[in-house]
Amino acid sequence: MGVPAVRADDAILHVSYAGKVLALSASDLTSMPHQDVTAMDAHGKTTHTYSGFPARDLLLRAGAPLGDQLRGSALRLLVVAHARDHYEVVYALAEFDGAFNDRTIFLVDRQDGRPLGEGAGPLRFVIPGDKRPARWARMITDIEVLPIPAN
């Protein structure tokens, strides 16, 4: 299933790999099949229900080598989440693949039935099972799949 072309000024998220960039609008992301996931907040005191979808779905649409393609040099690929506040978080591409990991990294747009607030949205990663949510990048605007820089 392809992603329709989005005018640059309508895009709220860009996902890129190997020169290909997906520009996604809020309606593109809202139309993706969502599922709920329950996890603790950043302070470990309150449980919230987040609604979103596995981030690997967008990585696949951008052409990232997941599944049977994730081997050899592809295991040297990183996923970088860029946030509106200039926060950046790096993940190994293999963390997004079910063959390597039992956890799912979700890209969410709702918390407790409401859109994410200004300080967290419009999108954030939620990674159930992480002991500390420091990798739960919030205010995500761009996701890049990049090779490990050469020495």
Residue 3 forms part of a structural domain: no
- Shortest CA distance to 51 belongs to which of 99, 121, 130, 1? 121
Residue 2 forms part of a structural domain: no
Residue 21 forms part of a structural domain: yes
Q: CB under 8 Å to 109, separation ≥6 — which residues?
A: 26, 29, 30, 51, 52, 115, 116, 121, 122, 123
Residue 30 forms part of a structural domain: yes
Indicate which CATH number applies to the domain containing 15.
Answer: 3.90.420.10
Which residue range(s) make up the domain with 34?
A: 8-147
Residue 103 forms part of a structural domain: yes
- Shortest CA distance to 92 belongs to which of 117, 115, 63, 70? 70
The model's pLDDT over 18-73, given as tens digits with 9 standing for 90+, comes to 999 999 999 999 999 999 999 987 677 889 999 999 999 999 999 999 999 999 99
The residue with greater pLDDT, 2 or 64, is 64
How many independent structural domains does the chain possess? 1
Residue 1 forms part of a structural domain: no
Residue 122 forms part of a structural domain: yes
Q: Kindly report the pTM of this predicted structure.
A: 0.90
Q: How would you label 82-119 residue by residue, b for 16+ Cβ within 10 Å and e otherwise? A: bbbeeeebebebbbbbeeeeeebbbbbbbbeeeebeee
The residue with greater pLDDT, 3 or 46, is 46
pLDDT category of residue 9 using cuts at 50, 70 and 90: low
CB of 75 closer than 8 Å to CB of 68: no
CB of 114 closer than 8 Å to CB of 104: no
Residue 41 forms part of a structural domain: yes
The model's pLDDT over 111-130, given as tens digits with 9 standing for 90+, comes to 999 999 989 999 999 998 88
